[in-house]
Amino acid sequence: MSLALAPLDMSVELEANLPCRKFDPDLWFSDSPAELELAKSLCGDCPLRVECLAGAVERAEPWGVWGGEIFERGAVVPRKRPRGRPRKEDVARDAALRVEAEARLAASGLSEVRGAVRLAA
């Protein structure tokens, strides 16, 4: 059984409490880094967060927020950078956030899905 599939007895009430069902779906696919961070935070209490993230990893989702993580070109990224050349402090912060994202994936047991989850450099 794929981790991406929800149980068959999932109730309509549960679906109504999912943040991706209550808010504008475009929020999870925004170009704005601030909106993507908001979407990530809304995923925090979602009862299907782990299953959503596992499904996105299995499918190598090309982009969007899935299970509280940002995907870009099929890889998990710690945060979406705005356009233009990054500042030096942004590069250092990205390295720290990459370690944090790896720890979250390992804690949820998803580092073994599809071999290993690819994190963007």
Query: Is 68 part of any known ligand binding site?
Result: no
Q: What are phi and psi of 76, to 5 degrees?
A: -80, 130
Query: Is 39 part of any known ligand binding site?
Result: no
Query: Is 43 part of any known ligand binding site?
Result: yes
Query: Is 52 part of any known ligand binding site?
Result: yes
Q: Which residues are documented as binding site? A: 20, 43, 46, 52
Output the known binding site for [4Fe-4S] cluster: 20, 43, 46, 52
